Structure 1
Amino acid sequence: MEAQVLAALHRAPGPAGAAWVQERLGGDLAYTTVMTILSRLHAKQAVTRERSGRAYLWSPAADEAGLAALRMRRVLDGEPDRDAVLTSFVSTLSAQDEQLLRTLLDRAAEAAEEAPGAAQAPVPDDAPAAPAGPGAAPGPTRHHPSDEARGG
């Protein structure tokens, strides 16, 4: 249901009310059900809202790619061993996706170096990986055994 509500908001010409969303979904969904879904999406930071009189107008917080990234981040945040999850994820990437990820991480590192106050203390070799996420600086480089096979 959340995906259907988000899809409706993406089709809206601008911020939309819950009644507008309810109409677009059709079926027999109660207004209160739509409000519950919108509230849950707001708690997950998938939508934003602004007051309009006594009601709210709702908008998607990001495009489809941004929402997928938010879901991925929530899954990662819910796991106790981030290092293991990220290691497993990276080990399953295709060579093309791995190269894209390396390029994006390099760009993020360059942007962090260019930003004022970006100087960071050196990271000890035995330090755990830094938390990943939007705006997070890259942590220590971890190599996967397949790196040597791919020339990395």
Structure 2
Amino acid sequence: MVEDGREARRPQGELVAEVLAVLWAAEEPLTPQQINAELGRELARTTVTTILTRLHEKGTLVRTRAGRGFAYAAADDAAGLAAGRMRRELEREPHRDLVLKRFVSSLSEDDEEALRRLLRESGDGA
């Protein structure tokens, strides 16, 4: 995106989502340089490294030593990350039953049935 001859700011989180998509598609941990190449942009090395460092500090990514730097991999898939965010939000609330009640009442019929099915399956030890 170019605006008045300069790069326009991306919506917050867009680049993070692109970085995660690259890592989810990868079969092995990637270095910041490899991720930058996969993104197909000419981003500053520090931009990608900063994103990766912050995601690692949040527990979203794991890293391993790769030469003098690090290679990064996703700690979980997209569904696992969403479930973790939901769990953390629920843990912050003192009235968890009320939060769950409101959440369930806001679900579509299909999602409510899926949740009931999953709860039955987990109760069966599946």
TM-score (norm 1): 0.62
Tell me which protein shows more helix as a share of its residues: 2
Q: Distance in 2 between matches of 1:30 and 1:81?
A: 45
Q: In the alignment, what sits opposite 2:107?
A: 93
Return the offset for 1:47.
Answer: 1.6
Partners of 2:21 and 2:97 in 1: CA distance = 33
CA distance in 1 between counterparts of 2:124 and 2:16 reads 37
Rounded Cα–Cα distance in structure 1 between residues aligned with 2:34 and 2:75: 18
Is structure 2 residue 25 aligned with structure 1 residue 2? no
2:81 is matched with which residue? 67
Deviations 1:74-103 (A, max 9, x none): 333344443332211100112222122122
Supply the AA of the counterpart residue of 1:86.
L
> Which amino acid is 2:24 matched to?
H
What is the letter of the counterpart of residue 9 of structure 1?
L
Tell me the TM-score normalized by structure 2.
0.73
The count of residues paired between Structure 1 and Structure 2 equals 112
Instruction: Find out whether 1:107 has 2:121 as its counterpart.
Output: yes
Show the counterpart of 1:31.
Answer: 45
More strand by share: 2
Q: CA deviation at 1:59?
A: 1.0
Say what the alpha-carbon RMSD is for the aligned residues.
2.2
Kindly state the Cα deviation for residue 111 of structure 1 after the two structures are TM-superposed. 2.0
1:41 maps to 55
Instruction: Give the greater-gyration-radius structure (CA).
Output: 1
Q: What residue in structure 1 maps to residue 6 of structure 2?
A: none
Question: Percent same amino acid among aligned pairs?
Answer: 49
In the aligned structure 1, how far is the partner of 2:123 from the partner of 2:29?
Answer: 35
- Matched residue type, 1:51: R
Which residues of structure 2 form unaligned runs of 5+? Answer: 1-14
Q: Does 1:12 align with 2:26?
A: yes
State the 1:4 CA deviation: 1.2
Structure 1: tracts of 5 or more residues without a match = 113-152
